[in-house]
Chains A and B, each alone.
Chain A
């Protein structure tokens, strides 16, 4: 059974810092990995999808890497801003490529102005 772990559970940093969020998964036979953000009381916003054949994906100040063989992914946020404050979740398909996702419990991020 796939399990996803995210470290740290919470993080508070001053505005402007670069930071790294970590995600690990137990079954490396994945088709992709997705990073989401969730604002309080809201649904999930997809940030990045990395296919298993890729090593990284970039969108603006966000960069996600994937090391499938070691079961790890990182989300790098450059020049953090207060608007980045949210909970960040990583998720992998539970089985085949179109299956439901298994989520980590998230990293609750606070960027101090």
Chain B
């Protein structure tokens, strides 16, 4: 069965440009998460979607970061006016929403490596 997929796998951009990162969750998974992994910071949570709504945007580092999800499936993370400190691996995960929370296992995609020159 298909897992979580992300595109592109690698993205090199110049400082100041906008980038879009895409995530395709596992079919039927209603919850979708974005994380960032950078050398000095480890893995940090960015934003979470339940269906098309984002109840928790607390991890977005600045207003240059935004994300949307359409049709309860594909999500796009957009970074505007990229800075060198945005260089990191951006990981997406999905989980089936199970009431009570105990069994909400998250499954991760391979990530997009973003390099801002």
**How many residues of B are counted as interface, with CB atoms below 8 angstroms from the partner's CB atoms?**
31
- The reply to whether the CB of B102 lies closer than 8 angstroms to some CB of chain A is yes
Tell me the chain B residues, 62-85 only, with Cβ under 8 Å from chain A: none
Q: In whole Å, how far is B30's beta carbon from the nearest beta carbon of chain A?
A: 9
- Check B107–A102 contact: CB distance below 8 A: no
Within 8 A of B (CB), among A30-87: 31-32, 34, 36, 42-46, 49, 51-53
Q: Contact between A46 and B106 (Cβ–Cβ < 8 Å)?
A: yes
| A-B contacts besides A43-B109, A97-B102, A100-B46, 17 pairs, CB < 8 Å | A31-B100, A31-B101, A42-B110, A43-B4, A43-B91, A43-B111, A46-B107, A49-B105, A52-B102, A89-B43, A97-B98, A97-B101, A98-B101, A98-B104, A100-B33, A100-B56, A103-B42
Interface residues of B (CB under 8 A from A): 4, 31, 33, 35, 42-48, 50, 56, 59, 91, 93, 95, 97-98, 100-111
